[in-house]
Amino acid sequence: MNRDIAHALLEIAIFAIGIYLVLRLLGTTRGSGVVRGLAIVLIGVIVVFSILIQELDLRRLGLIFDKLRDIALLGLIIVFQPEIRRGIVHLGESPLFGRMFRREVKTLHRLLLSVKRLSRERIGALIAIEREASLAAFARTGIRVDAEVNSYLFETLFYPGSALHDGAVIVRGDRIVAASCVLPVSSSQEIPRRLGTRHRAALGLAEETDALAIVVSEGTGKISAAHAGHLRYDIDMVELERTIETALGLQREKRAR
């Protein structure tokens, strides 16, 4: 009896770990709520029907259910193939597999220097920093850059009159992925009317993803940061550095150095 109990507990543990890994993978993709919801429903249905079929010995129904289950799983894989692929990429970079995604501290300094210069010159800017959720879908709306983070490059991209100055620049790790990207605009009524489209786009991105968005006001040079569905307006460089470190997990890395 004890052996049967241990065997059952082992099966439950393996099943639970499998569900956790699947949900963690799906959680790293844009639109993860829809994918994760469908996955939970599908897993729940499979578990309930499997138990009923086994307990009631419904063999014919079991054969039909096995075929429908395979078709449903294949359909989900086909429909959500891009999200699943991005999720696998991000999962492979996660601490779960021993590969902590580290951003160089020099990237932080270059980013802060860029924002400081843009603020001083009152050059409007919108910088989106990718975290766990992929921003590839937004990057595809702009122009591919694929260059190392550089303070002068930021100024060039956002310089008034530049072909790419409108829209957002997306940063992934220590690379500038794309420029002139279109971000979702927030419809929140909490944003003051004096703030423009850049601030609404920054908050919109923070509402839909876990990214950090930094805004430099073109009219005043004031700096804002949007993260986790909230917009912090008119912050100084010290607060901005603290915000970036907290959002990207750089505090632990700096202490380790």
The pLDDT tens digits for 225-238 are 999 888 999 999 99
Q: Flag whether pLDDT at 16 surpasses 70.
A: no
- Separation of alpha carbons 211 and 225, rounded Å: 11
CATH architecture assignment, domain 105-256: 3-Layer(aba) Sandwich (3.40)
Whole-prediction pTM = 0.60
Residue whose C-alpha is closest to residue 163's, from 145, 146, 147, 175: 145
- Separation of alpha carbons 221 and 215, rounded Å: 9
For 151, residues 6+ apart whose C-beta sits below 8 A from its C-beta are 110, 111, 113, 114, 117
Count CA atoms closer than 13 A to 56's CA, side-chain side: 10
More confident residue, 15 or 246: 246
Domain ranges of the chain: 2-97, 105-256
Q: Flag whether pLDDT at 30 surpasses 80.
A: no
**Which neighbouring-strand residues pair with 213?**
128, 226
Counting beta carbons within 10 angstroms of the beta carbon of residue 208, is it exposed (0 to 12), middle (13 to 18) or buried (19 or more)?
A: middle
Q: Are 234 and 224 in contact (CB under 8 A)?
A: yes
**Which neighbouring-strand residues pair with 146?**
none
The pLDDT tens digits for 168-196 are 999 998 899 999 999 999 988 778 777 88
DSSP classification of residue 221: -
The pLDDT tens digits for 36-93 are 566 666 666 667 767 766 666 667 666 776 777 677 667 666 766 665 665 555 555 4
Q: 4: alpha, beta or left, given left = phi > 0 and alpha = psi -120 to 50?
A: alpha
Which residue shows structure tokens 């932080």?
108
Residue whose C-alpha is closest to residue 249's, from 95, 98, 117: 95
